[in-house]
Structure 1
Amino acid sequence: MSDIIQLLPDHVANQIAAGEVVQRPASVVKELLENAIDAGATSITLLLKDAGKTLVQVIDNGKGMSTTDARLCFERHATSKIKNAEDLFNLNTKGFRGEALASIAAIAHVELKTKQENEELGTCIKIEGSNVVSQDVTSTPKGTSLAVKNLFYNIPARRNFLKSDTVETRHIIDEFQRVALAHPNIAFVLHHNNNEVYNLKSSNLKKRIVSIFGNKTNEKLVPVDEHTDIISIKGFVAKPEFAKKKRGEQFFFVNDRFIKSSYLNHAVNSAFEGLLEQGSHPTYFIYFEVPPNTIDINIHPTKTEVKFDNEKALYAIIRATVKHSLGQYNVAPVLDFNRDATLDTPYDFKNKPSVSTPKIIVDPTFNPFKNETLDKNPVQTEKPRTSSTKTYQSNFKKDTGSWESLYANLKTESFSSTNTQEELFESEKETETGKTFQVQKKYILSTIKSGVVLIHQTLAHQRVLYEEYLEHITVKEANSQQLLFPINISFSTTDIEMITGMKADLESAGFVFNEITRDTVVIGGIPTSISESQITLILEQLLDDIKLEVPDASFSHFDVMAKSFAKSLAIKTGTVLSGKEQETLVNNLFSCKEPSVSPLGKPTFKTLTLQEIDTIFSK
């Protein structure tokens, strides 16, 4: 029998490796930015076209490469970062495996220009699908320029799996932000389709955070700083009142490398215990410095998941550090050992006899109305209190039986039964309106021929609004109402970029934009179906949904817009509905094309037949 195992050709092996290293354009951005940082660059420019699908180019002023290094860097496992296996446990660089450039060159058109400082001319290499097309001498500035064009051109199936430009741009910006936050001392510039998105100057950490997430971030931040033998912690956490419903702005950096750690995230959340509303998540930018030999960063291809030697100790230190910062800056209540002496009891009063509490004597038999018939003359009511009190007492005692006789024939069993019923229905008052009942301000119970139907009022209203908005946006012409005074809303640079990309779709929905600047949106008109106070909520919800890739399975932004509008404007749990409102909601729900599920796929109602109800009580 012949041999069947054979070695794969290099270009095939590189394409397979690219499946792990290069998942989308953002993966290319991450690798190229980290290479520029490892090269000692102080200024890095990132150029994008079509969300990186057409072009990803990184230009840096680092030390550059020689002609031999420029050719060798595209070979598999070629690296200048490590020499032997022991170096893996003492890493001070971003990359080290030597797979990135080889993988990228296998699935794209790559053009490299590089020059070292002491050289007069540099090197230009062009590669297409692992094949070197040309290698020439060129005139280029000091540093390296690497352009990756037509990503996945030779793997069309992989290219088809890429998301919309908006989603892919969001991933690229996420990677850009992580690298820029880790290195505030390096200047970064980002251009997308010839539009400048970021221009970050070299600065300190706080200024870098503010320049990325907007000027409003400055007032939210509380500094964190702690140094121990096993870890040094610095950074910022946001005040509890600025917590968000989504896990968005949460950043951990270890030795200037962005990481994800649910374990350490739990430590931060526990420090905020008692300060956040249910379902809210804190914002934080926390930087760790640990000895390189106490961390393993080679357990995941993207190097975002790491393993610490002493995780339990780090957990305790992080939790205590964040809790201390919140207390130190009067964000959380703490024990105040600096007692204000002016609030103490004066010394002269400490030995004074205690003041006696006045005694109040109440006469339980006093009846102020008993003597009304006797005192026909109002002037005669001004009698000495002692005599009138005696009169009232004697008269009240004589007729005590008259009012007690009213309850003489009342049976004990009847009273206790009535009382029990009152307690039952007082504690669970349902809103009864014909055929509908509102239960716990959350559900609507309606009777049908075969039994009853229990409707979730929020999810049902979401379905009704979703179909209405989708019809108005896609079929009917959306109507706008002009605002008397245009509204200015501040957003981060990232959000502005997303709003700019969706501007045409938002205008189709009824929004009117007077102006869009680098950090502000001026709105002059809104859809007639929403109110002025809801604009910010709706836009923030829409941006969050796009960041979480809600539109992946949608045919356009219109669908995710309709979902976001419905989710933002639907009635919430706890809202009391009148009888007419309940009936209208039920009728509108069952007039929908898909009444059984909400826009996000959750069931809107549950039907209980008479047989099912009988089964419950027959057990």
Structure 2
Amino acid sequence: MGVIRQLPPSVVNQIAAGEVVERPSSVVKELLENAIDAGATRVDVSVERGGKDLVRIADNGVGMSPDDLLLAFQPHATSKLADVEDLYRVKTLGFRGEALAAIAEVSRVRCQTRQADADQGSEIQIEAGIAGPIKGCGIPVGTVMEVRNLFFNVPVRRTFLKSDQTEAGHVSETFLRIALAHPEVHLTFRSSGKILHDLPPVTGMRDRIATFFGRELAESLLWVEGRLENIHLWGYVAHPSQSRSSNKGQYLFLGGRYVRDRSLGHALGEAYRGLLMVGRNPVAFLHLEIPSEEVDVNVHPTKIEVRFRDPQRVYSHLLSTLRQTFLSSDLHSRLQAAQDIPSPAATATTQSTDPAPSTGTPPSLFDRPPDRHSVASWFDGSRPSATPPTSPSIPDTVGRIEPPEWSRSLPGRFEFGSGDEFDEFGGGRSSDLPAPSGASPSDEARPPLDPEPVAGGGRPADPALTSPDLSLKAIQVHDSYLIAETPEGMMVIDQHALHERIIYEELRLRVAEGKVESQGLLVPEPVHLTADEAAAVLEQRDVLAGLGLEVEAFGGDTVVIRSTPAMLGHLAPERLLRDLAEHLQSNPIPPTTDGLVAEILHMVACKAAVKAGDRLEPAEIAALLARRHLVSDSHHCPHGRPTALIFTKSELEKQFGRI
């Protein structure tokens, strides 16, 4: 007799339950999605002891007939698929026909349902997969599902559940995801007899984001929208000041379903490169609409993981759309009193004016005397004329993200937007420069960033952000900060952070044009490093050579320097190499060459900039501030720290009791 046998249906269902039903929140997810698929406009969720004792979902959807009621709890029974072709164009949240059978196998289930044309409802009770007879019952149109004593017949699984509070937290997170994905549905959530959320239907996500994450975050959101052929991306991303220490603030929805995708998460991080400090993560609420035949949602029973037919195109579209949003937005940090609650109008996100091109050639920021931190001397000792110089255009090959190594095995071809669509390093084209002093504003109408404006509307662009006369009333305090009067109030500027951004942009332009000049050392300088530092430097020797730093192995753990960037001639070659080696060895290497170049430029700019504690002369302050509005992303240094804080006149008057 053979040893292979057919598993009984109960065992099959328990195996499926191990994948589909991990904890009470899994039950809530499956039943909520079924309710939304049934066309419900209102769904009430109730749980007891975090869902361990009871999960109750009541909806006003289309309901089920008595014939369908029993069949709904059979394995692989569904109304959402008819043949194998339907599996590749799924447009519903559920489709596998596994969830109800798996849930009924490990709990006590009661389902009451009624269709609009039925005189009465139908009821069935199932315990550990064993169904009782179907009975009549009184119930409004819709369905009520009650799941009690989850895992009562699988005690080992029940012992793995966490505390009631922890499980309730997971249920709340599941409820949050579906509430954000479907703001048009009226949802309520009750835990242990207490109503936690009563969310009426709304036309957009902003109100629900404010409910779950607070009004401050909701008012800092930037509207994002972009189309690329049949791909539509829309939603919100938060101002960099609203970053988080983990990626739990990132919500990506595909076809109304919350999903996780490693490549899209990477694209989101790349879009914020240089806007966030190390260790911080962006906050985003994004919807992706793509034809159902272009994505496979049948990857895992939980349906959280998906696969795209052309993942590189989706990656590039997300990255370029977010970057363009940042380039057209005011990302300056607003300084507010802790006890002051800003009005929506005061904190609404603004959109900067369209910059106009200009002419000229910028001098180098690196022609700096080695014995003096003179800012003014970098600009020939005087402020530039009213007409700002032109930044040379960047070739399309610079600032274009290559796919990370782990994505190269994915199907499809990686395509990028043109150089005019996206620049990883944050702009720097002539079109990114503001209009010359005295020039009239652009005649082109600016579309609103946010189709769901904050109450009170947005404000026009802050003139303090673009005015070349910002330095007229600026002073230095503590040899570290510059205080400048603006038409709206005052601005406190971190001199090191601002200068670091200016140097970074200038160096980036030189690298983009291939105009980084190197200076050969008369006597090559050997530098002894640790073994791992030497390996890290030599592994990136080609990248360093492109930056004007030529190195080669000299035996053992010694690396010899043959040339250094001419623009950094004031830095000791040994010190420069040691700093680079330490940085390469102690920080994760970005997955792209451009990303690695950006990391190195960040470090070099930080080393070359004026430091906190360096006293600046009035002419130097004027020269530094005069260059501020000529570089892109001047609101943050390359490492993500803000370069300036804005304190409005109205906020000052509030603090002094004038208003």
TM-score where L is the length of structure 1: 0.54
The answer to whether the 8 Å contact 1:127/1:134 transfers is no
Matched, 1:236 2:236: yes
Question: Counterparts of 2:436 and 2:54 in 1: how far apart (Å)?
Answer: 65
Matches within 5 A, 1:8-47: 8-47=7-46
The answer to whether the 8 Å contact 1:74/1:105 transfers is yes
**Corresponding letter in the other structure for 2:60:** N
Q: SS of the counterpart of 1:185?
A: coil
**Corresponding letter in the other structure for 1:229:** E
The answer to whether the 8 Å contact 1:21/1:27 transfers is yes
- What are the superposed Cα offsets for residues 181-207 of structure 1, whole Å, 9 maximum, x if unpaired? 111101110000011111111002212
Matches within 5 A, 1:181-196: 181-196=180-195
The answer for the alignment partner of 1:136 in structure 2 is 135
Q: SS of the counterpart of 1:300?
A: coil
Question: Counterparts of 2:71 and 2:272 in 1: how far apart (Å)?
Answer: 50
Q: What is the CA distance between 1:295 and its match in structure 2? A: 0.2
The answer for the alignment partner of 2:120 in structure 1 is 121
User: Which has the larger Rg?
Assistant: 1
- What are the superposed Cα offsets for residues 361-414 of structure 1, whole Å, 9 maximum, x if unpaired? xxxxxxxxxxxxxxxxxxxxxxxxxxxxxxxxxxxxxxxxxxxxxxxxxxxxxx
The answer to whether the 8 Å contact 1:225/1:233 transfers is yes
Question: Counterparts of 1:14 and 1:242 in 2: how far apart (Å)?
Answer: 44
The answer for the alignment partner of 2:205 in structure 1 is 205
Q: What is the CA distance between 1:302 and its match in structure 2? A: 0.8
Matches within 5 A, 1:381-392: none
Q: SS of the counterpart of 1:74?
A: coil
Indicate how the Cα distance of structure 1 residues 5 and 343 shifts in structure 2: closer, same or farther if over 3 A, else same. closer
The answer for the alignment partner of 1:75 in structure 2 is 74
The answer for the alignment partner of 1:92 in structure 2 is 91
Question: Counterparts of 1:261 and 1:77 in 2: how far apart (Å)?
Answer: 26
The answer for the alignment partner of 1:339 in structure 2 is 435
The answer to whether the 8 Å contact 1:254/1:289 transfers is yes
Q: What is the CA distance between 1:322 and its match in structure 2? A: 0.6
Matched, 1:324 2:327: no
Q: Which moved more, 1:208-217 or 1:324-333?
A: 324-333
**Corresponding letter in the other structure for 2:127:** E
The answer to whether the 8 Å contact 1:224/1:322 transfers is yes
**Corresponding letter in the other structure for 2:49:** D
Question: Counterparts of 1:89 and 1:207 in 2: how far apart (Å)?
Answer: 34
Q: SS of the counterpart of 2:167?
A: helix
Question: Counterparts of 1:294 and 1:343 in 2: how far apart (Å)?
Answer: 48
The answer to whether the 8 Å contact 1:224/1:237 transfers is yes
Matches within 5 A, 1:242-321: 242-321=242-321
- What are the superposed Cα offsets for residues 143-166 of structure 1, whole Å, 9 maximum, x if unpaired? 000000000000001100111112
Question: Counterparts of 2:73 and 2:84 in 1: how far apart (Å)?
Answer: 21
Q: What is the CA distance between 1:128 and its match in structure 2? A: 0.3
**Corresponding letter in the other structure for 1:73:** A
Q: SS of the counterpart of 1:197?
A: strand
Q: SS of the counterpart of 1:78?
A: coil
The answer for the alignment partner of 1:471 in structure 2 is none
- What are the superposed Cα offsets for residues 89-142 of structure 1, whole Å, 9 maximum, x if unpaired? 111101111110001000100000000011110101011011113421011010
- What are the superposed Cα offsets for residues 315-365 of structure 1, whole Å, 9 maximum, x if unpaired? 111111111112222228765455144179xxxxxxxxxxxxxxxxxxxxx
Q: What is the CA distance between 1:257 and its match in structure 2? A: 1.1
Q: What is the CA distance between 1:313 and its match in structure 2? A: 1.2
Matches within 5 A, 1:286-435: 286-331=286-331, 336-342=432-438
**Corresponding letter in the other structure for 1:81:** K
The answer to whether the 8 Å contact 1:252/1:260 transfers is yes
Question: Counterparts of 1:107 and 1:258 in 2: how far apart (Å)?
Answer: 25
Question: Counterparts of 1:42 and 1:112 in 2: how far apart (Å)?
Answer: 19
Question: Counterparts of 1:65 and 1:20 in 2: how far apart (Å)?
Answer: 26
Question: Counterparts of 1:162 and 1:232 in 2: how far apart (Å)?
Answer: 39
Question: Counterparts of 1:342 and 1:317 in 2: how far apart (Å)?
Answer: 37
TM-score where L is the length of structure 2: 0.51
**Corresponding letter in the other structure for 1:228:** L
Question: Counterparts of 1:82 and 1:261 in 2: how far apart (Å)?
Answer: 25
Q: SS of the counterpart of 2:190?
A: strand
Q: SS of the counterpart of 2:223?
A: strand
**Corresponding letter in the other structure for 2:243:** A
The answer to whether the 8 Å contact 1:108/1:150 transfers is yes
Q: What is the CA distance between 1:214 and its match in structure 2? A: 2.2
The answer for the alignment partner of 2:168 in structure 1 is 169
- What are the superposed Cα offsets for residues 418-442 of structure 1, whole Å, 9 maximum, x if unpaired? xxxxxxxxxxxxxxxxxxxxxxxxx
**Corresponding letter in the other structure for 1:184:** P
Q: SS of the counterpart of 1:244?
A: coil
Question: Counterparts of 1:343 and 1:68 in 2: how far apart (Å)?
Answer: 75
Question: Counterparts of 1:240 and 1:287 in 2: how far apart (Å)?
Answer: 20
The answer to whether the 8 Å contact 2:183/2:205 transfers is yes
**Corresponding letter in the other structure for 1:296:** D
The answer for the alignment partner of 1:56 in structure 2 is 55
Question: Counterparts of 2:84 and 2:439 in 1: how far apart (Å)?
Answer: 66
Matched, 1:219 2:315: no
Question: Counterparts of 1:310 and 1:35 in 2: how far apart (Å)?
Answer: 29
The answer to whether the 8 Å contact 2:66/2:134 transfers is no
Matches within 5 A, 1:445-456: none
Question: Counterparts of 1:102 and 1:69 in 2: how far apart (Å)?
Answer: 14
The answer for unaligned runs of 5 or more in structure 1 is 345-619
**Corresponding letter in the other structure for 2:268:** V
Q: What is the CA distance between 1:208 and its match in structure 2? A: 2.0
Q: What is the CA distance between 1:36 and its match in structure 2? A: 0.2
Question: Counterparts of 1:213 and 1:68 in 2: how far apart (Å)?
Answer: 44
Question: Counterparts of 2:85 and 2:272 in 1: how far apart (Å)?
Answer: 40
Question: Counterparts of 1:292 and 1:274 in 2: how far apart (Å)?
Answer: 35
Q: SS of the counterpart of 2:323?
A: helix
Question: Counterparts of 2:50 and 2:144 in 1: how far apart (Å)?
Answer: 19
Question: Counterparts of 2:220 and 2:74 in 1: how far apart (Å)?
Answer: 47
Q: SS of the counterpart of 2:233?
A: strand
Larger helix proportion of the pair: 1
Question: Counterparts of 2:214 and 2:438 in 1: how far apart (Å)?
Answer: 44
Question: Counterparts of 1:289 and 1:145 in 2: how far apart (Å)?
Answer: 31
The answer to whether the 8 Å contact 1:231/1:288 transfers is yes
The answer to whether the 8 Å contact 2:233/2:287 transfers is yes
Question: Counterparts of 1:53 and 1:318 in 2: how far apart (Å)?
Answer: 39
Q: Which moved more, 1:335-344 or 1:170-179?
A: 335-344
Question: Counterparts of 1:3 and 1:293 in 2: how far apart (Å)?
Answer: 43
Q: Which moved more, 1:238-247 or 1:144-153?
A: 238-247
Matches within 5 A, 1:566-577: none
Q: What is the CA distance between 1:230 and its match in structure 2? A: 3.1
The answer for the alignment partner of 2:634 in structure 1 is none
Q: What is the CA distance between 1:311 and its match in structure 2? A: 1.1
Question: Counterparts of 1:5 and 1:312 in 2: how far apart (Å)?
Answer: 44
The answer to whether the 8 Å contact 1:108/1:154 transfers is yes
Q: What is the CA distance between 1:26 and its match in structure 2? A: 0.7
Q: SS of the counterpart of 1:59?
A: strand
Matches within 5 A, 1:462-611: none
Question: Counterparts of 2:212 and 2:138 in 1: how far apart (Å)?
Answer: 34
Matches within 5 A, 1:604-619: none
The answer for unaligned runs of 5 or more in structure 2 is 333-425, 441-659
Question: Counterparts of 1:311 and 1:26 in 2: how far apart (Å)?
Answer: 29
The answer to whether the 8 Å contact 1:112/1:125 transfers is yes
- What are the superposed Cα offsets for residues 461-513 of structure 1, whole Å, 9 maximum, x if unpaired? xxxxxxxxxxxxxxxxxxxxxxxxxxxxxxxxxxxxxxxxxxxxxxxxxxxxx
- What are the superposed Cα offsets for residues 522-563 of structure 1, whole Å, 9 maximum, x if unpaired? xxxxxxxxxxxxxxxxxxxxxxxxxxxxxxxxxxxxxxxxxx
Question: Counterparts of 2:218 and 2:17 in 1: how far apart (Å)?
Answer: 40
Q: SS of the counterpart of 1:199?
A: strand
The answer for the alignment partner of 1:66 in structure 2 is 65
Aligned residues: 343
The answer to whether the 8 Å contact 2:32/2:57 transfers is yes
Q: SS of the counterpart of 1:252?
A: strand
Question: Counterparts of 1:244 and 1:186 in 2: how far apart (Å)?
Answer: 28
User: Which one scores higher on RCO, CA 8 angstroms, separation ≥ 6?
Assistant: 2
